[in-house]
Homo-oligomer: A and B are copies of this chain.
């Protein structure tokens, strides 16, 4: 594994751990998040939401609200332009149709989920706005609702969108259905594959709807000026997508809209789609004043996109030596109230880590009376891979094989194909499994007390490329500034500054990174998909090359030598044999004015060499047989990170992802009553792990550089949320002998399962 710059030199900045450039602002709370910004004459908005998961809106009467002192405007879905077909790249599940965004933002004919926006109010203060919302009179015709994906697939299920008819593998039928998409991948004859196996195991799994659980609620402040110029201040992962979505929804040119991204208090994929932004813009247009909306926690749970609940069936066949001969996956994903593509993505992830000659994957996106699901860290992968890792664990036990040996035997490597077709470039799954095998954790004795055990699981995420832009300027003292359009959600200011410093021969502290608004930098896609350090980093690298090219001309002028004879060796400009002292970028800074003025470099990229990332997690657990509470005794995340730019942030991503996965596995779920209403829309009842619930997560960074990036970068943020579901499931199974195939493995569910199994079995587990 070569750890060096493209020029073959050892790294000077990359791989070090400087203090993050935005650290002080973050730890002191000075960083300005969405809700922190306010303007003179600002109004406060509030959204009226449907109390019913499914209901026809018969009438809306806002007259009483409008008559209240201090209420300045009320809007309903009727004020949005007609929906139109237009495909777009989104955080709502890849490529989506814009047709369904209008209705999601503000309902027109029907309320399709509890919390669906029905109307919005702008008033002089938040209290007046809240009272005004209550004064709006809506007449609903309540309809039967369906919130369970399998029930929603039944022929007699209540239908969400009459116009959606079954589309099975490209063939359209006439019957209306809640199945908005069916995707299939096939390789070889899967039946023959299973026949060739010595052991075949097939199991069914379910996972619950879970929320990203970011601390900062959604927010938007907008000003619609009388000349049609619009500014939106919001905490978002994708300011350019907010601009596009608002332009599309309100049928405006992009050039009239500026989106100013504020500091973001967590996103994890959930802060990509627009919710409040178009409402703030419409309310500001009506009132001529800036309008601010901030959700409360209940609104965040009810009305923003969580990750799909799923029902999956996984079947794997292996030879006695562990070689997989065939696998079949049947994946059903909750779409929520509008069409989605998450099952499509699940189908691409589910079998990705393993080689096999034959496979069959069927994936279904299913409409339910729940909020439209959205991206959540490695979206769709955790639910899909969970079942595979459980079945493989059973197979390893059946074969008496070390579970990592079994994975190593079948692990994909360069040249192998993913189920959906693409060939893997250089990847590091085998190196990662090996590193897990070699780890102190895995080599240490497994915990052997009562109801204790150890287990492992594998995870995978594609990582994304998309488009990014960067500008790099050289200051008069030779320090540099770096501007990108990528919102910083996980330390990207630091990583961008470090990559620029590496390229220019500067120190990390000598580069000042910043995030620009949509007017101030070229198009840049979402901060998400673990694409930022890769793609925006590449734009920064290329912009630095642009700068170096310009600086070389300056050195040539100063030295009166041909440009071609001058080299930049990573530290300074050099000439082989003219005896000139090398000249650094820092030294050149002061000479810019005299040699032709300022130097700025720019790059816009849409890179293709994306490097997938694989991880292996190891967990030691202990189950309390009486309460069903699971204590994670030790937890290690091993992951191929390509090249860690700032190792502390890579470790932080791995730790954070693992903890979110642990929450998903053990506790988090949307609890719904018979009417389909959520019973736990608060952090008191929707239980995310706290510091007290998890041990310090250990991390092992495996660095198999991605050949598609000058510094070998792979995305690192998503993969670590994938393995915890299988890892903890396997560890619990090995500890207490019950396979909890329905997540979460929460204390009530686990204790009930243990009761069912009988206490004697628990005392002497036979996994």
Name A residues whose Cβ lies closer than 8 Å to a Cβ of B: 19, 21, 23-25, 28, 30, 39-40, 223, 225-227, 229, 244, 247, 253-256, 258, 467-469, 471, 473-477, 479-481, 483, 509-514, 516-524, 592-593, 596-606
Chain B's nearest CB lies how many Å from the CB of A274? 16
Tell me whether B476 and A598 are in contact (CB under 8 A). no
3 nearest A-B residue pairs (beta carbon):
A597-B606, A255-B479, A522-B600
How many copies of the chain does the oligomer comprise?
Answer: 2
Given contacts A226-B24, A479-B255, contact A601 B602 (CB under 8 A): yes
A254, A592, A605 pick with most chain B CB within 10 angstroms: A254
**Please, how many angstroms separate the alpha-carbon atoms of A519 and B523 in the complex?**
18
Instruction: With A469-B600, A597-B605 given, name 6 new contacts (CB 8 A).
Output: A25-B225, A467-B597, A473-B521, A483-B516, A523-B598, A598-B606
Tell me whether A519 and B597 are in contact (CB under 8 A). no
Chain B's nearest CB lies how many Å from the CB of A478? 9
Chain B's nearest CB lies how many Å from the CB of A562? 23
Given contacts A226-B24, A227-B24, A520-B516, contact A598 B254 (CB under 8 A): no
Tell me whether A477 and B223 are in contact (CB under 8 A). no
Tell me whether A19 and B604 are in contact (CB under 8 A). no
Tell me whether A592 and B523 are in contact (CB under 8 A). yes
- Residues of B contacting A475 in the complex (Cβ-Cβ under 8 angstroms): 254-255, 523
A25, A28, A253, A514 pick with most chain B CB within 10 angstroms: A253
**Please, how many angstroms separate the alpha-carbon atoms of A603 and B601 in the complex?**
9
**Please, how many angstroms separate the alpha-carbon atoms of A30 and B592 in the complex?**
38
**Please, how many angstroms separate the alpha-carbon atoms of A302 and B597 in the complex?**
36
Tell me whether B512 and A244 are in contact (CB under 8 A). no
Tell me whether A469 and B473 are in contact (CB under 8 A). yes
A-B contact pairs, 17 of them (CB 8 A): A23-B227, A24-B225, A30-B39, A30-B40, A253-B477, A254-B477, A468-B598, A469-B473, A469-B600, A471-B520, A471-B521, A471-B522, A474-B523, A514-B517, A596-B606, A597-B604, A598-B606
- Residues of B contacting A474 in the complex (Cβ-Cβ under 8 angstroms): 522-523
Tell me whether A21 and B520 are in contact (CB under 8 A). no
**Please, how many angstroms separate the alpha-carbon atoms of A518 and B473 in the complex?**
10
Given contacts A253-B510, A255-B480, A473-B523, contact A227 B599 (CB under 8 A): no
Tell me whether B597 and A476 are in contact (CB under 8 A). no
- Residues of B contacting A40 in the complex (Cβ-Cβ under 8 angstroms): 30
Chain B's nearest CB lies how many Å from the CB of A537? 15
**Please, how many angstroms separate the alpha-carbon atoms of A229 and B494 in the complex?**
14
**Please, how many angstroms separate the alpha-carbon atoms of A241 and B551 in the complex?**
22
- Residues of B contacting A229 in the complex (Cβ-Cβ under 8 angstroms): 21, 24
Tell me whether B512 and A598 are in contact (CB under 8 A). no
- Residues of B contacting A517 in the complex (Cβ-Cβ under 8 angstroms): 514
Among residues of B, the one whose C-beta sits closest to the C-beta of A593 is: B467
